[in-house]
Amino acid sequence: MDAFYRDLGDGRFESSTATAGPWSAALQHAGPPSGLIGAVMERHAPREGFRIARVTLDIPRPVPVAELSVEVTTISSTARTELLDAQISAAGRTVMRARAWRVLAAPADTPPLRHGPPASPLPDVATPAPMAAGAHVAGYLSAMEWRFVSGGGFTEAGPGEAWGRQRIPLIADAEDSPLTRALTIADTNWAVGSELDFVGRLVINTDVTVALHRDPVGEWLCLRAETVASPGGSGLATGRLDDRSGDCGRILQTLLVADRT
């Protein structure tokens, strides 16, 4: 597992076993394909002085550990903004869709506004991040390094705070970008801050929105997440993304909550 993906050319990518999520060795964690769609968006007709500020990803069905095709188109383009649309397909079926705003970077004299306390310092050593019995841990969970500050790992109720980084690159022989690092870790936000029983019930996110007011710096990123839910409604996982310098942006995920029977 030297990378999550290998570029086959023409928008096709081979998925490695490192992409597999905790539910099955045959199905991907949504983090790697989120990063992949971001990488292809950045390659699509790049414009000097522009940056991708927000990406919303929808997951209509599980992403298989298989060859994937990624397509990106420009929906609209002006002097200051662009709206991009993308999809990932496997065996001819769409498994992930995304829309992103690529905008002109803010002027250098924009005031650096910050709100809320900084993230806890990065722990010196890795801490155990236990999963539920029977979970597949040999894929994505092992391809990432986790250092929990609070929340006790993926099996204890949040809110939670954890630092994480990739042990391997997203695409073989390609350099990771700040955007792809953020997208690759962002889907784990709801698990860091999980406060619902995702073993006895079906709890799964249908989407991920990542909004970055600045590009994250460095490999280590911190997720500070919490969950709200209502009977007769649904769940909502919200999180703040930090690097070692401070606040980078926000993460939002809709959670389906249902009985397994």
Q: Give the burial class of 201: count Cβ atoms within 10 A of its Cβ; 0-12 exposed, 13-18 middle, 19 or more buried.
A: middle
**Among residues of the chain, what percentage have pLDDT more than 90?**
82
Q: What tens digit of pLDDT does each residue of 69-108 get? A: 999 999 999 999 999 999 999 999 999 999 999 999 999 9
**Tokens encoding 30:** 């949504």
pLDDT-wise least confident of 103-117, 142-156, 161-175: 142-156
Does residue 128 have a pLDDT over 70? Answer: no
**CA–CA dist 99, 87 (Å, integer):** 9
Q: What tens digit of pLDDT does each residue of 178-228 get? A: 999 999 999 999 999 888 888 788 889 999 999 999 999 999 999 999 999
**CA–CA dist 47, 82 (Å, integer):** 10
pLDDT score recorded for residue 151: 61
Does residue 261 have a pLDDT over 90? Answer: no
